[in-house]
């Protein structure tokens, strides 16, 4: 297939590695295919509103190590659930036909959608409307199915691990319990990986509802020996019989629920029930920022180059995927059918328990 005009957008939350993907598609597309690369500004929001610019070789020069995205992104631009109006006068409309019209007006041969589950669900719907779409999996949560790992996850995990390292020294100095809340939404990969790498004493993830008594018993036991404890809790963790902690609802988002607050709750309950001095740190968007790790730079580049090759062979309505250290393509329908959660028999869980980590169960 002749690829003369390729559109690229980054959707959902930002993360390290997005620019590496943009670079890995744009450079060979311009060099080997003599193609025009159109950058869609601010994700699907820009595609609905017709905001875009043509990328040049200079635009993608030296960006492999830059965090964020040179194109901008948005998690409130779902064309099938598009917010219109201002503040208290928001109405939700279906603007998908505007996307199709802009795609055709730009005379695109293909559209590359770089993002997580929400971005790829939209991509699959657009493919069903006749657009040539190629998905590339991105999320720090690592919760996208049909791939063993998404780019961005390793970088966020490295940031969270370093945070635990730093919290451990101050926790030890003051004989405190330090609670650290990570992102991850409904998947515990980030908290579990960082907690295991950082030697956290308690790790709480969404897949394992926790017992308050198990937490209290663990920190009290450590207070008699090590005299400090590190608790790594995912934002979607919840107690047995309870629900997730919700920070706010935003109807402009496809998923209006914004999680947050479980770290503060765990910290307060530990201090109230055990009398141990406890502090909480919420990493928040620190996990999304900064330069990508070497792993994410390489994976992002592999994803982008394979995506371009697959599009030239006429493959669409598919997503790049890492399987057994090989990048392949899989149907988008397979990728968005369900979330990739930490399984009960995960070796990470086994390893954590083997070294004495409390998982709250």
CB 83 within 8 A of CB 252: yes
What DSSP line would sit under 80-99, residue for residue?
GGEEESSGGG-EEE--HHHH
From 147, 97, 85, 140, select the one nearest 286 (Cα to Cα): 140
Q: How far apart are alpha carbons 57 and 31 in whole angstroms?
A: 9
CB 236 within 8 A of CB 268: no
List the alpha helices (DSSP H) in 15-152.
18-32, 43-49, 96-105, 117-128
C-alpha to C-alpha distances, 110 to 47, 184, 205, 356, nearest whole angstrom: 13, 31, 38, 50
Q: Give SS3 for 30.
A: helix
Close Cβ partners of 90 (under 8 Å, ≥ 6 residues apart)? 83, 84, 251, 252
Helix axes 189-198, 153-174, angle to 10 degrees: 50
Close Cβ partners of 349 (under 8 Å, ≥ 6 residues apart)? 192, 208, 342, 359
Catalytic residues, which ones?
141
Which contacts of 252-261 are long-range, i.e. CB under 8 A and separated by 24 or more positions?
A: 252/76, 252/83, 252/90, 253/75, 253/76, 253/78, 254/75, 254/78, 254/81, 254/118, 255/118, 259/185, 259/235, 260/181, 260/235
CB 52 within 8 A of CB 335: no
From 257, 290, 252, 260, select the one nearest 75 (Cα to Cα): 252
Beta-strand relationship, 278-282 and 229-234: unpaired
């Amino acid at each position: 297939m002749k690829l003369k005009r390729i559109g690229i957008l980054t959707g959902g939350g930002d993360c390290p590695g997005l620019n590496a993907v943009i670079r890995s598609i744009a450079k060979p597309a311009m060099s080997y295919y003599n193609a025009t690369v159109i950058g869609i500004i601010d994700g699907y929001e820009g595609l609905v509103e017709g905001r875009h610019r043509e990328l040049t070789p200079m635009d993608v020069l030296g960006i492999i190590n830059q965090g964020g995205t040179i194109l901008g992104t948005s998690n409130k631009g779902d064309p099938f659930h598009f917010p219109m109006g201002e503040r208290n006068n928001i109405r939700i409309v279906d603007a998908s036909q505007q996307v199709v019209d802009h795609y055709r007006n730009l005379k695109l041969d293909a559209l590359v959608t770089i993002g997580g589950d929400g971005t790829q669900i939209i991509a699959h719907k657009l493919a069903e409307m006749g657009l040539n779409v190629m998905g590339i999996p991105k999320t720090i949560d690592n919760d996208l199915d049909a791939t063993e790992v998404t780019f961005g996850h390793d970088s966020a995990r490295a940031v969270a691990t370093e945070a635990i390292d730093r919290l451990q020294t101050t926790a030890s100095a003051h004989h405190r319990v330090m609670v650290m809340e990570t992102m991850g939404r409904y998947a515990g990969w980030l908290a579990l990986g960082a907690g295991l790498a950082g030697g956290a004493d308690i790790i709480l993830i969404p897949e394992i509802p926790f017992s308050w008594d198990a937490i209290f018993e663990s920190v009290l036991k450590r207070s008699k020996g090590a005299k400090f404890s590190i608790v790594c809790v995912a934002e979607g963790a919840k107690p047995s019989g309870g629900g997730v902690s919700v920070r706010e609802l935003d109807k402009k988002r496809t998923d209006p629920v914004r999680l947050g607050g479980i770290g503060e709750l765990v910290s307060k309950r530990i201090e109230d029930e055990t009398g141990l001095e406890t502090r909480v740190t919420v990493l928040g968007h620190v996990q999304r920022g900064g330069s990508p790790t070497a792993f994410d730079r390489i994976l992002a580049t592999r994803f982008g180059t394979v995506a371009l090759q697959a599009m030239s062979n006429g493959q669409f309505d598919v997503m790049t995927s890492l399987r057994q250290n090989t990048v392949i393509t899989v149907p988008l329908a397979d990728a968005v059918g369900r979330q990739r959660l930490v399984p009960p028999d995960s070796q990470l869980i086994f390893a954590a328990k083997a070294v004495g980590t409390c998982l709250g169960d």
